[in-house]
Amino acid sequence: MKLYWIIFLFTTVVLSQNTDDEYESNKIIWNQDKKLEWKDFTGALDPNLFGNALTSYKIEIIPENVLVDAEDNIQNYENLTVVAKFYKDKSWATSRTDGLLAHEQLHFDIAELYARKIRKKFSELKSVNEQRFAVYASAYEILWQECREYQKMYDSQTKNGILTEENNIWINKVLNEIMELNEFK
């Protein structure tokens, strides 16, 4: 009976590890040396959405399970950070041109830009020993909303990447902004 439980526990751990690995392999953490490829867009087309492609991303707080005490203080707040992640199974494309891929890549780059802005803000809060969860959550939410508005403005001004010259201007602008925040990569 004891051997049965050991085998059961081992199998459970291995299966849950495989599920975690599959879940993580579905994500790409932003990396300046790794550009998106069309093979990364594995999601099903959403017929309710307009466009030729969709980049699904999230700026995730790390660690995912933040421990907060009764006074709203984050335990180990010094370790709090964020990462920009691309979700393969939620991203899709109906057209696969180089110009459209560059446009979708910049959506992911904008996510990294705002991840750096959040890291910068978190760094400022840490420098004054701010530990309250509500303060970090508020800072995150404000910058997350700014990111969403910036993404909309990008799509609007480039007509979803159709205006090639305007898209190139945006690429240079965003990459310069990312470089200005290199301290927070």
Q: What is the pLDDT along the chain (185 residues), one digit of tens a residue?
A: 443 433 333 333 444 344 455 557 999 999 999 999 999 999 999 888 888 999 999 999 999 899 999 999 999 999 999 999 999 999 999 999 999 999 999 999 999 999 999 999 999 999 999 999 999 999 999 999 999 999 999 999 999 999 999 999 999 999 999 999 999 99
Encoded amino acid at 53, one letter = A
**Under 8 Å between Cβ of 62 and 82:** yes
Q: How many residues does the chain have?
A: 185
Amino acid at 89: D
